[in-house]
C-alpha cells in the first residue's frame, strides 16, 4: 500500500472528480461530485473543494505540510476558480507546468491549476483538461504510440478532441461537437419524434450510419441526418434503430473529416495506430467506427486523467517521483 502523496482534481463544467493518489501515482481513493463549475453558486469553489477533499486533507495532516493539490479542466477557465491562461501549441508538459496558476483555499491549502491549450489560426481550438489526459496517456500507453510520425489521440465526448502529439508536445488538435450535436438533434429536432428508446445498442444500425457518412455520394452532414427520418418513413429503419443510426452517422462524419485532414499529409486512418481516452462504452463505439475506416489498432488508455495529473505534479515538483506506467 502506497502513501497518499497528491490530491488530483479533474474539475469540469458539469462534474468534479477527485483522486487521492499514492506515491506510485495510483488512485487510493476517488470521489465524484456534481459540483461542476457551471453549477456552483458565487464563491462555491471553496465549499465544493472542502466537501470533496476536506476529509483527505484532515486525515493526512499529521502536523506536516498538507497534501499538494493539482487541478485541471474548466476550473482554470475565465469562469473557473482562478484563470490559468491558455498555453499555445506546440505545448509540452513543461509549458503546462510553467503555466500553472495557484489559488489559496479557505483553509490555506494551495491549489495548482493546470492551464489549457490554445491553437491559434482561422479555426482556433481550445482544450481544458484534455491536455492533462493526453500527457497521462503518453505515460501510460505503449511507447510505439509516439513514434517518429507522432501520436494521434482521440478523446470522444460532448466536444470530441483529436490531438496530434510529436516529441511529447501537442502540435495541433481539432474539436468536433459530435456528442452535443447528437443530443440536440435527438432531443430538439424532428429526428427525435420518430425515435423510440432502445435498451440495447443496435450495432447494425450504428455501422450503417458510419458507412453512410464515410462513403462518397452524399451532400454532407446536413443532408445525411435527414435520412434518419426517411429511412424510417420507408420502412428501412425501425424506431428503435434510429438513435444508433444517427450516432453512427455523426461519428462517421467526424472520422471522415479527420481522414480528410490526414489525407492532406498523405496519411489515413486505415492502418494507423492511435489511442482513445474516454468512457469504455463510448470508446467501444469509436473503435467500431474506426474499424469501418480500416483502423483496427485503437487502444483505449485507462486512467489517463490520474496519470496526467500525477505527471504534471511531479514535473512541477509537488511530488517526488514520477508515476510508473500502469
Footprint on this chain of its own copies (rule: CB under 8 A):
118, 120, 122-126, 159, 174-178, 180-181, 184-185, 187-191, 212, 217-227, 230-231, 233-234, 236, 250, 253-254, 256-258, 260-261, 264
Q: Which is nearer to its own copies, 203 or 260 (CB)?
A: 260
Q: Which is nearer to its own copies, 57 or 75 (CB)?
A: 75
Residues 150, 166 contacting (CB under 8 angstroms): yes
CB of 268 to its own copies, least distance (A): 13
CB of 51 to its own copies, least distance (A): 27
CB of 16 to its own copies, least distance (A): 19
CB of 61 to its own copies, least distance (A): 40
CB of 116 to its own copies, least distance (A): 10
Q: What CA–CA distances, in Å, run from 96 to 5, 37, 135, 301? A: 20, 21, 10, 21
d(C-alpha 194, C-alpha 203), whole Å = 19
Residues 198, 240 contacting (CB under 8 angstroms): yes
Question: What 3-state class would DSSP assign to 234?
Answer: coil
Q: Which is nearer to its own copies, 187 or 296 (CB)?
A: 187
Q: Which is nearer to its own copies, 4 or 36 (CB)?
A: 36
Q: How many CA atoms lie within 13 A of 169 on its CB side?
A: 13
d(C-alpha 315, C-alpha 59), whole Å = 25
Burial (CB count within 10 angstroms: exposed 0-12, middle 13-18, buried 19+), residue 103: buried
Residues 85, 91 contacting (CB under 8 angstroms): no
Q: Which is nearer to its own copies, 108 or 217 (CB)?
A: 217
Contacts of 75 (CB under 8 A, 6+ apart): 9, 11, 12, 37, 45, 81, 113
CB of 105 to its own copies, least distance (A): 28
Q: Which is nearer to its own copies, 105 or 247 (CB)?
A: 247
Amino acid at each position: 500500500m502506497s502513501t497518499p502523496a497528491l490530491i488530483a482534481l479533474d474539475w469540469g463544467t458539469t462534474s468534479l472528480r477527485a483522486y487521492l493518489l499514492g506515491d506510485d501515482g495510483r488512485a487510493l481513493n476517488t470521489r465524484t461530485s456534481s459540483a461542476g463549475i457551471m453549477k456552483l453558486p458565487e464563491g462555491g469553489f471553496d465549499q465544493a473543494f472542502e466537501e470533496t477533499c476536506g476529509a483527505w486533507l484532515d486525515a493526512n495532516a499529521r502536523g506536516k505540510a498538507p497534501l499538494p493539490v493539482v487541478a485541471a479542466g474548466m476550473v482554470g477557465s475565465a469562469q473557473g476558480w482562478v484563470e490559468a491562461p491558455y498555453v499555445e501549441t506546440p505545448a509540452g508538459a513543461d509549458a503546462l507546468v510553467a503555466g500553472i496558476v495557484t489559488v489559496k483555499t479557505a483553509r490555506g491549502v494551495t491549489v495548482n491549476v493546470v492551464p489549457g491549450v490554445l491553437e491559434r489560426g482561422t479555426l482556433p481550438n481550445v482544450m481544458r483538461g484534455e491536455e492533462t489526459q493526453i500527457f497521462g496517456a503518453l505515460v501510460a500507453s505503449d511507447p510505439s504510440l509516439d513514434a517518429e510520425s507522432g501520436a494521434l489521440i482521440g478523446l470522444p465526448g460532448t466536444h470530441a478532441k483529436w490531438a496530434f502529439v510529436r516529441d511529447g508536445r501537442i502540435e495541433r488538435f481539432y474539436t468536433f461537437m459530435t456528442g452535443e450535436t447528437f443530443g440536440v438533434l435527438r432531443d430538439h429536432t424532428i429526428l427525435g419524434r420518430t425515435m423510440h428508446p432502445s435498451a440495447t445498442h443496435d450495432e447494425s444500425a450504428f455501422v450503417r450510419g458510419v458507412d453512410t457518412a464515410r462513403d462518397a455520394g452524399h451532400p454532407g452532414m446536413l443532408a445525411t441526418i435527414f435520412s434518419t427520418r426517411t429511412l424510417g418513413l420507408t420502412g428501412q429503419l425501425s424506431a428503435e434503430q434510429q438513435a444508433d443510426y444517427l450516432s453512427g452517422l455523426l461519428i462517421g462524419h467526424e472520422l471522415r473529416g479527420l481522414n480528410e485532414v490526414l489525407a492532406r499529409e498523405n496519411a489515413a486512418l486505415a492502418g494507423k495506430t492511435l489511442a482513445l481516452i474516454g468512457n469504455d462504452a463510448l470508446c467501444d463505439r469509436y473503435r467500431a467506427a474506426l474499424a469501418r475506416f480500416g483502423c483496427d489498432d485503437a487502444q483505449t488508455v485507462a486512467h489517463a486523467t490520474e496519470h496526467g495529473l500525477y505527471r504534471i505534479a511531479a514535473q512541477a515538483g509537488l511530488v517526488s517521483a514520477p508515476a510508473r506506467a500502469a
